[in-house]
Chain A
Amino acid sequence: MTWTLDKSRPICPQICEMICASVASGEFSAGEKLLSVREIALLAGVNPNTVQKSFEELERRGVIHSVRCSGWYVNENTSAAVEELASLRIKKTEDYLAEMAQLGCSSEEVIEYIKKCQGGTQ
């Protein structure tokens, strides 16, 4: 997976989102061992404390868990990650709709635009 971060947003939630997405999509499978905090910090070019904080947050949300002296693992039950991803998708869509509304565009018109753009790329 690639670690592309938006510097104008807190990094911690961004790492949480990326890991949730990878778990939900099956890129990280249930029970799989994650890379260490330091390895992810190096890959993403971020502070190890931030990665640690993200992992702890994901543990609270029931996506991953830590095993003493071994590292971090994806939970057997990935439903929490799927739910996180779903609510993230809803939020992103709401944000997009709000932006389009600012440009004077109704939801119906947005749907038209989406269809148009899809037509263009096909």
Chain B
Amino acid sequence: MNEILKCTGLSKRYGSVQALNRVDLTVERGKIIGILGPNGSGKTTLIKLINGLLTPTEGSILVGGEAPGVETKKIVSYLPDNSFLPSWMTAEQIIDLFCDFYEDFRPELAYEMLDRLGVSKTTRLKNLSKGNKEKVCLILVMSRNAQLYVLDEPIAAVDPATRDYVISTIINNYNPEASVLISTHIIADIEPVLDEAIFINRGEIVLHKTVDEIREEKGMSVDALFREVFKW
């Protein structure tokens, strides 16, 4: 089975607000894909549906051939857009917690990355800076040996040097069986590592292409195309 994610006619309404409108999307294994769209376009809604935090109003969503649930959570590693960790714990304690939670968690990898980025293991999260807190979250998520990584705004708060490290972590962790979905609007930094770009606007996918196709056809970078498509 080569597709890790398949959405068919996926819609989500919040009251009168149509957040996603009949989205059809197939993601193959071994790809790094950017979900790109302006604020309020439906990126986080799509991601929450993938993780079973929301249920579709209409349509279906399959992760590794199954509807989101206990089984899919074993193979999906999810970085939410806001901090999800108890702030009174230290990185060390949280690594222990993740070891208990996820069979595929690799603590040695997490410790290695924490050392590399110089984040203290024994400081409570609430005493870390915003950027360092984000690093801890990302390290935890990338330390799992998952089949689908879903990263919601992974690089928003970190400095440019750390952004480069995050990107090299994604490349280094690349495995042909796993896919990475990254939602962001900081496109320039991540576009060299993407296979495909999905442009999403007002709940609809307006473009889904490989990034080299975009550069070939339009003669511009993905960042430049984004600025053109979503110009005010």
Partners in one complex: yes
**Chain A: residues with CB nearer than 8 A to chain B?**
5, 7-12, 38, 41-42, 44-50
Q: Is B13 an interface residue (CB 8 A)?
A: no
- CA A12 to CA B192, docked complex, whole Å: 11
- Look across to chain A and name the residue whose beta carbon is closest to the beta carbon of B221: A7
User: Which of B171, B195, B213 is close to A45, meaning CB atoms less than 8 Å apart?
Assistant: B171
- CA A7 to CA B223, docked complex, whole Å: 9
- Look across to chain B and name the residue whose beta carbon is closest to the beta carbon of A37: B174
Within B214-230, which residues are at the interface with A (CB < 8 Å)?
A: 215-216, 219-224
How far, in Å, is B218 (CB) from chain A's closest CB? 9
Which 6 residue pairs across A and B have the least CB separation, nearest first? A7-B221, A10-B212, A10-B215, A46-B192, A8-B221, A47-B193
Known contacts A41-B174, A42-B171, A47-B192; is-contact A11 B220 (Cβ 8 Å): no
User: Which of B195, B213, B215, B220 is close to A49, meaning CB atoms less than 8 Å apart?
Assistant: B195
Contact yes or no, A45 B215, CB < 8 A: no
- Look across to chain A and name the residue whose beta carbon is closest to the beta carbon of B174: A48
- Look across to chain B and name the residue whose beta carbon is closest to the beta carbon of A10: B212
How far, in Å, is A3 (CB) from chain B's closest CB? 10
Contact yes or no, B172 A49, CB < 8 A: no
Chain A residue contacts of B32, Cβ below 8 A: 47, 49
Contact yes or no, A7 B172, CB < 8 A: no
Q: Is B8 an interface residue (CB 8 A)?
A: no
Per-residue A-contact encoding for B172-205, CB less than 8 Å = 1, 0 else: 1010000000000000100111110000000000
